[in-house]
Amino acid sequence: MIKLIVFDFDGTIRINSHDYRIKKNIIKKLDDKKIKCPKKRELLMREEFLRNCEIKPEMQKLIKSLASKYVLVILSIASKDYVAENLNKYNLKRYFKRIYSTKDDFNTDIKEKSHFKKIFDDFSCNPSEAVHIADDYGIDYISNELGCKTLLVDCSPIKKIKIEELEEKIEL
């Protein structure tokens, strides 16, 4: 029986913030404003990403539905603050029990098996009682190696699953 769902954030819940066109447009805006200070550029870049990127509507609906049946958490390479800001923009933060950040919680820029083990331990959950919903086979499939079912959403070139079909696949 599934108890826990671990979501990836960028590219899964949120339309990918690593989109080259978005970054290019934001950098051009900052350059046009002649902003040179690195800290100010970083802050403005973050604000622009929040304005220019969005959480997929079908994912919003799925999160609300799943939250009534399962414990939901996020594991992201983005900072906790960044993820929380995005979720708050859509009033979705309340559906997640915890946000884990590889940067903030584990002091690394990549996801590792130990991160998933920590999440499973925190929620007294066996890997077989969890599902990981993500978008990138290369980065996100490591949870599968632990015995956690991994579902890759339709933005992935491998094992495409439409967001609308995820809920029915969780208990299979």
Do residues 76 and 124 both lie within one domain? yes
Nearest to 117, CA basis, from 147, 141, 140, 139: 147
Digit-coded pLDDT (tens) for 23-72: 677 777 777 777 777 777 777 776 776 666 788 788 899 999 999 999 99
Give the strand order in the sheet containing 71-76.
98-101, 71-76, 4-7, 130-134, 149-152
Pick the range with the lowest mean pLDDT from 45-49, 56-60, 86-90, 157-161.
157-161
Looking at residue 49, its pLDDT comes to 67
Q: Copy the structure tokens of residue 146.
A: 């632990």
Whole-prediction pTM: 0.78
Q: What is the pLDDT of residue 35?
A: 75
Task: Specify whether 44 is located in the same domain as 100.
Answer: no
82 and 126 share one domain: yes
SS3 category, 130: strand
Whether residues 87 and 46 share a domain: the answer is: no
**CB-based contacts of 58: which residues, under 8 Å, 6+ apart?**
163, 164
Q: What's the total number of domains in the chain? A: 2
